[in-house]
Structure 1
């Protein structure tokens, strides 16, 4: 199904807008003409009416800021959202880098939310998953990483008073009680294997130099769309807890090679489309690579419990 025909078009089109701004406009304070954004989103099969509706909805949510000059409307990214964009991109590009060291302990969140407070229960689960936790038992969520302060902040923010957050080693556990059992490793393996198979052909064409700027812009965005799913379902478990042939390193290697390799071409296409409407703005378009993020350029932390609106298509 084409993006423009999707039954979830409003949601998808706003995500597309956010992804494009996050990938090529970053923290720029200058707004982009709506006509330029319409043309860019058309590269993904989005009709003008749908693209403009996405901009209006994003503006209504405060995700972008609309300005007018005569008959021209332009959209820019608010300062606070710019920080979240960079934080979100950092999270995605650092994922799977293998630069985290595990201390052998687990963060455990033990809590109870009354059954009648269903919305609170849903929100707690959503935010804990965002932090990389998964349910081991009902009301017991776990993560191998030190996220206790952020978990506590989420629970406090949502008014969950019957809660305890601990950081401890596991003394003993049966097969079903092993914290790793909170994740379905077989399903995760299948996801990574499918990702490798789906994008292997694109990697070969990138290596051979057979991707033009127009395709690069679309392919790079769709690649990020697929990659973006992994941090939401995989807490990047420490190697000590995983099989030796775990496919995440191979999947990350493919992602980094293709995403970074397509960056200059995709940026060129983005700038070309913006340049049709404002050549001066076109010169400000830029892309970042995974290497930039690992060097710490523009890295920032997402506030505890906050979920960015910026995300790839299909989120």
Structure 2
């Protein structure tokens, strides 16, 4: 993650945070494409060390990040910062330091939620009852950081702004949205449900809160890019040392969609909507790369802690 982000959280590009800072909870790093060390390390641990409580030698984690071009200095700085944030826990054996994912319930829950959201997205279509969930909130100008965090959290929950301060979602996530706003200290908010009769006059249809043309283009781009890689994998043309960075980048590419598209109901979309095809490509490629990437991670861990190497397991996508 996990979950674990593009700097556009809450700016309308849909790349909101997997887990914003929440009062009284562990502060997880934001997810972004590329090689940001803290996020990358959390992604790798969430994917290949999911559910494990054993401590991993720091040297092994540094070597793992080196696979992505992260310097040892930057890797150790990331370990230190994640430990201070409560995301990692450290232990020492002699002069050697070891780390594991935090056992705090809030940290484990955030990681599990992020991974589940990414790997289960678009796995099934659900009938829609025509009900919109509406959240209206206001944050004073002097609390812009809170407003930014609130927008990012709402996007991650599947909401989009119909008007300034009026956010809507086609799924029953009203309670989660209200809880997120309250946890961020937003005091002025209300929520409601709404249905829009097809024949009623209106200025802006709720579905227009999402830029469907731009969203289609993102799906089409994803399919074009990753279908070519899928053909390579099917043909056995991808080496083990390539599989780990490719699978990680695939996850980052797929990560954008849960915030861009809250699995908008089929009733509101064109018949040829590309989400299903994008999911097919992601699911097959993500799982096909899993064994190769797992083997690479095992080999790196084995260099520093042979007894831990057999515990490495890749996290599969969650099918229907």
TM range (shorter): 0.7 to 0.9
Contact residue 32 and residue 76 of structure 1 kept, 8 A: yes
Deviation (angstroms), 1:10: 11
Q: Is 1:222 matched with 2:249?
A: yes
Aligned positions, number: 286
Question: How far apart are 1:204 and its partner, in Å?
Answer: 0.3
Distance 1:121-1:82 versus aligned 2 partners, 3 A rule: closer
What secondary structure is seen at the aligned counterpart in 2 of 1:177? coil
Q: Partner residue of 1:309?
A: none
Q: Which residue of 2 aligns with 1:307?
A: none
Deviations 1:115-170 (Å, cap 9, x if unpaired)? 34323322221211121101001121000000111122123223434322112211
Question: Does residue 243 of the first structure (1) align with residue 266 of the second (2)?
Answer: no
Residue 72 of structure 1: CA displacement?
0.8
What are structure 1's unaligned runs of at least 5 residues?
Answer: 1-7, 296-315
Tell me which of 184, 189, 193 is aligned to 1:163. 189
Task: Note the aligned Cα RMSD (angstroms).
Answer: 2.0
Q: What is the CA–CA distance in structure 1 between the aligned matches of 2:136 and 2:201, rounded to whole Å?
A: 19
Deviation, structure 1 residue 57: 1.3
Partner of 1:146: 172
- Corresponding residue SS for 2:68: coil
**Which residue pairs with 2:227 in the alignment?**
200
CA offset digits 1:251-270 (Å, max 9, x no partner): 11101010011111111110
Structure 1 contact 175–181 (Cα < 8 Å) conserved: no
Deviation at 1:175, TM superposition (A): 6.6
* Cross-structure match for 1:5: none
* Contact 2:35–2:68 (CA under 8 A) maintained in structure 1: no
Shift of residue 84, structure 1, vs aligned partner: 2.2
**What secondary structure sits across from 1:129 in the alignment?**
helix
Residue of structure 2 in register with 1:125 after alignment: 151
What secondary structure does 1:287 align onto? coil
TM-score (norm 1): 0.85
Kept in 1, the 8 Å contact 2:48–2:312? The answer is: yes
Q: Could you say which residue in structure 2 is the equivalent of 1:115?
A: 141
1:25 to 49, 60, 73: 49
d(CA) in 1 for partners of 2:184, 2:61? 37
Partner of 2:210: 183
Give the CA deviation at 1:90. Answer: 0.8
2:236 is matched with which residue: 160, 185, 209?
209
Counterparts of 1:176 and 1:13, CA distance in 2 = 45
Match in the other structure for 2:92: 68
Is 1:82 the counterpart of 2:82? The answer is no
Q: Which has the higher contact order (CA 8 A, sep 6+)?
A: 1
- Kept in 1, the 8 Å contact 2:157–2:177? The answer is yes
- Secondary structure of the corresponding residue to residue 198 of structure 1: helix
Evaluate the alpha carbon distance shift between residue 161 and residue 35 of structure 1 in structure 2; reply closer, same or farther with a 3 A threshold. Answer: closer
CA 1:266 to 1:174, structure 2 compared with 1: closer, same or farther past 3 Å?
farther
Contact persistence 2:135–2:168 (CA under 8 A): yes
**Structure 2-normalised TM-score?**
0.84
More helix by share: 1
- Distance in 2 of aligned mates of 1:169 and 1:10: 41
Change (3 A) 1:156 1:85: closer
* Structure 2: stretches of 5+ with no match in the other structure: 1-31
- DSSP 3-state at the match of 2:61: helix
Within the candidate set 128, 141, 164, 1:102 is matched to 128
